[in-house]
C-alpha cells in the first residue's frame, strides 16, 4: 500500500513538474517514456477520485486537494523518522525531503504540517502517561517467589554454594586446573504449570527461567487467563533479554556436530538465540505488541526495562513484560570467565566469596536465574484494579567508549549515565536516598562505581544508603538488573533495605556511613536508583519511587 501511495504521489509531482518544463514534450520522449507518462496519468486518476487530469484546472485540483488516505501511510514513516531526528527518508537509493523544499506544490507541504502537529500533540500526551510496576516474577538462587527471595536477602542468607549440576573435576580444562567449583546455582526448579512439557524438554534453561518468571509476574499482577483474554493483545508486549542466550543448547549442538550435523538438535539455533525467550512467551500469551530482546552484556535487563517503559510512555502499549534471564553455569561459561580472570577463586568459602567493597574481594561469583517486571500504564492499571508496587520514573544509558571489559578509570561514563537518568526523569539528586549498586566484587569495578556515586550524590543533605544484592546471589549477568530491580522495588514496598554481607574489611577508599552494614536497615525511600554495567562499556541506571497519586 505504501508503495502504491508513493507511485501516486510521484505521478502527481512529476506531472506538475513536466508542465513547468515545456521542453519535456512528447516529441522528445522515447516510447518507454511515453508509456511511463501514460501510466502516471492513470495513477493521477486514482488520486483525484474521478477528477479529470487533462485540463490545468483539474491538475491543480489534484495537487491542491488533501491527498487520498493511502498517502497518509507516509505519516507513520515520517513520525518514525522524526524520532531519530531526521526529516529525510531514503527510498530505493534516492532521498525524498519531507519539508517541501525539493518539490513545489501543496501535496507535500500540507501532510507534513499535519504530521508535525500530530507529533507535537503526541509528545504532549506522552508526558501524562505514567509507568508503574504492577507485577514481579523471579527465579533465583534464593527462591522463586519475590517475597521469599527478598526475605532471604533481608536475613543475609547467601545463595552461593558448590556447583552440583556437573562435576567440575571431570573436565580437564581451565575449570579443573583452577578448581572453579562455586556459583549462585539454582538447585531445584520446576516448570510444572508454567511451561509446556514439550518446551520444557527441549529448551535451554535461560528460556525456561524467562517464561516461568514472566508468567509469575503476570500471576502476581492479577492478570489471569480470563483477564488476559480480554486485553487488547496488540497493546501488550515483551522485551526480555539475555547476555549469552542458550549456551547449553548451542554447546550441545557443537558436540553433536563432531559426529554429524544429522545428530544436531533441530532447535539448536532458535533455542540458543537471545530473542527466542521473549518470542516464546509472547506466543504463549498471544501478545502482539513490541517483542524483541536486547543484549548489552550485564546491562541487558535495564536496557530492556527502559525500552519497555518507553513504549508505554509514548502511548504505543499499555502493558510490557520486561527484564532478563541467564543460565551460563556450564563448563564453557565458567571457563570463559576464568580465562579473562573475572571470577573469584575462594572455592573453600562459597558463602564469603562474593564480597563487594571488601579489601579481600578477588572477582565475581557467577549466578543464574531470571527477573521479570510487568510495567503498566497507570490509568490502565487503575481501571483493571491492579496493585501498584512502585512507579518507574525512567533512566538512561551511556557508553564508556574506553575498553572491552574495564570501566573508565575515572568512572566518567557511569557518572554521565546517572546524571542523564536524573535529568531525563526530572528527579532532583537530593531526593535519591537509596542505591542498589552494580558492585560485582571486583577490585576495580566496585571503587569506580562508588566514586561515581559520591561524585553525583556526595553533597546530598541526607546520606544515601548503598548496598549490593550480588553479595548474596552472585552476578546473574544479563538477568542481574531485573532481579536487583525486584529487590529495589521490594525495599520500597517493605521500607527495609537488605545488608551487604561479607563486608568485614572495607576498602580504605569507601565510607561505611554510606554503605549498608551486615544487618538490614529501615529506610523511608524517596527515590531509588539501580545500576547495571556491562562488558563493552555499557552503563545503565533506572529510577523507582513509591507510587503517589
SS3 130: coil
Phi-psi region of 495 (alpha: psi -120 to 50; beta: other; left: phi over 0): left
* CA 303, 309, 310, 312 torsion-angle sign: positive
pLDDT at residue 168 in the model: 72
| SS3 label, residue 532 | strand
In this predicted structure, what is the pLDDT of residue 39? 58
Low-confidence ranges of the chain (pLDDT < 70): 1-128, 169-180
pLDDT recorded at residue 387: 94
Q: Please state the pTM of the whole predicted model.
A: 0.76
Q: What is the pLDDT of residue 271?
A: 86
In this prediction, residue 180 carries a pLDDT of: 66
Contact 309, 424 (CB under 8 A): no
Measured in residues, the chain has a length of 549
On whether the CB atoms of residues 242 and 274 are closer than 8 A, the answer is yes
- Specify the pairing of strand 465-467 against strand 432-436: parallel
216-221-222-223 Cα dihedral, nearest 10 degrees: -70
pLDDT for residue 507: 95
Residue partners of 117: CB distance under 8 A and separation at least 6: none
Helix, strand, coil percent content, the chain, rounded in steps of 5? 45, 15, 40
Strand-pairing partners, residue 324, are 241, 371
Residue 351 phi, psi dihedral angles, 5° rounding? -70, -15
For 348, the grid coordinates are 573453600
Which positions ≥6 away from 330 have C-beta within 8 Å?
165, 166, 247, 248, 251
Using DSSP bridges, classify how beta strands 369-377 and 131-139 pair: parallel, antiparallel or unpaired. Answer: antiparallel
pLDDT score at 253: 86
pLDDT digits (tens, 9 = 90+) for 251-271: 888 888 899 888 888 888 888
Q: What pLDDT score was predicted for residue 24?
A: 42
What are the structural domains, with CATH classification, of the chain? 133-546 (3.40.47.10)
The confidence score (pLDDT) of residue 30 equals 56
The whole-angstrom separation of Cα 502 and Cα 505 is 8
What pLDDT was estimated at residue 414? 94
Q: Locate all alpha helices (DSSP H) within 230-317, ordered by sequence.
A: 247-257, 276-285, 300-313
pLDDT at residue 411 in the model: 81
Q: What is the pLDDT of residue 465?
A: 97
Amino acid at each position: 500500500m505504501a508503495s502504491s501511495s508513493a507511485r501516486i504521489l510521484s505521478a502527481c509531482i512529476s506531472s506538475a513538474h513536466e508542465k513547468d518544463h515545456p521542453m519535456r514534450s512528447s516529441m522528445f520522449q522515447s516510447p518507454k517514456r511515453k508509456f511511463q507518462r501514460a501510466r502516471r496519468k492513470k495513477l493521477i486518476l486514482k488520486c483525484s477520485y474521478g477528477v479529470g487530469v487533462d485540463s490545468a484546472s483539474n491538475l491543480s485540483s489534484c495537487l491542491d486537494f488533501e491527498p487520498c488516505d493511502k498517502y497518509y501511510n507516509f505519516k507513520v514513516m515520517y513520525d518514525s523518522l522524526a524520532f531519530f531526528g531526521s526529516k529525510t527518508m531514503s527510498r530505493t537509493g534516492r532521498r525524498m525531503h519531507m519539508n517541501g523544499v525539493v518539490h513545489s506544490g501543496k501535496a507535500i507541504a500540507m501532510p507534513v504540517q499535519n504530521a508535525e502537529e500530530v507529533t507535537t500533540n503526541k509528545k504532549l500526551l506522552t508526558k501524562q502517561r505514567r509507568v508503574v510496576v504492577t507485577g514481579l516474577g523471579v527465579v533465583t538462587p534464593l527462591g522463586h517467589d519475590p517475597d521469599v527471595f527478598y526475605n532471604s536477602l533481608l536475613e543475609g542468607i547467601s545463595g552461593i554454594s558448590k556447583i552440583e549440576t556437573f562435576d567440575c573435576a571431570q573436565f580437564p580444562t581451565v575449570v579443573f586446573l583452577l578448581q572453579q567449583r562455586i556459583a549462585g546455582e539454582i538447585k531445584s526448579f520446576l516448570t510444572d504449570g508454567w511451561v509446556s512439557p514439550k518446551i520444557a524438554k527441549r529448551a535451554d534453561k535461560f528460556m525456561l527461567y524467562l517464561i516461568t518468571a514472566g508468567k509469575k509476574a503476570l500471576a502476581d499482577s492479577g492478570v489471569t487467563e480470563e483477564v488476559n483474554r480480554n486485553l487488547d493483545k496488540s497493546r501488550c508486549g515483551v522485551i526480555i533479554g539475555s547476555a549469552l542466550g542458550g549456551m547449553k543448547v548451542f554447546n550441545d549442538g557443537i558436540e553433536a556436530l563432531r559426529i554429524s550435523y544429522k545428530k544436531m538438535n533441530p532447535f539448536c539455533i532458535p533455542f540458543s538465540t537471545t530473542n527466542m525467550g521473549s518470542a516464546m512467551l509472547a506466543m504463549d500469551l498471544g501478545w502482539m505488541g513490541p517483542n524483541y530482546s536486547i543484549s548489552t552484556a550485564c546491562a541487558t535487563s535495564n536496557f530492556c526495562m527502559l525500552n519497555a517503559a518507553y513504549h508505554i510512555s509514548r502511548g504505543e502499549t499499555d502493558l510490557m513484560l520486561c527484564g532478563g534471564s541467564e543460565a551460563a553455569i556450564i563448563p564453557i561459561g565458567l571457563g570463559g570467565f576464568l580465562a579473562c580472570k573475572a571470577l573469584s577463586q575462594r572455592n573453600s568459602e562459597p558463602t564469603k566469596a562474593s564480597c563487594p567493597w571488601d579489601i579481600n574481594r578477588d572477582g565475581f561469583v557467577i549466578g543464574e536465574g531470571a527477573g521479570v517486571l510487568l510495567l503498566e500504564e497507570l490509568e490502565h492499571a487503575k481501571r483493571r484494579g491492579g496493585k501498584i508496587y512502585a512507579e518507574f520514573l525512567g533512566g538512561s544509558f551511556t557508553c564508556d567508549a574506553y575498553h572491552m571489559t574495564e570501566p573508565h578509570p575515572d568512572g566518567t561514563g557511569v557518572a554521565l549515565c546517572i546524571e542523564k537518568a536524573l535529568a531525563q526523569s526530572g528527579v532532583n539528586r537530593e531526593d535519591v536516598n537509596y542505591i542498589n549498586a552494580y558492585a560485582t566484587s571486583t577490585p576495580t569495578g566496585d571503587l569506580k562505581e562508588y566514586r561515581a556515586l559520591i561524585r553525583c550524590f556526595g553533597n546530598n543533605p541526607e546520606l544515601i544508603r548503598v548496598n549490593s544484592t550480588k553479595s548474596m546471589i552472585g552476578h546473574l549477568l544479563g538477568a542481574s538488573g531485573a532481579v536487583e530491580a525486584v529487590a529495589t522495588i521490594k525495599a520500597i514496598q517493605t521500607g527495609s533495605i537488605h545488608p551487604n554481607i561479607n563486608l568485614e574489611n572495607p576498602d580504605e577508599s569507601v565510607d561505611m556511613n554510606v554503605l549498608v552494614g551486615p544487618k538490614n536497615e529501615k529506610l523511608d525511600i524517596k527515590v531509588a536508583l539501580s545500576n547495571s554495567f556491562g562488558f563493552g562499556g555499557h552503563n545503565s541506571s533506572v529510577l523507582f519511587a513509591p507510587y503517589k497519586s
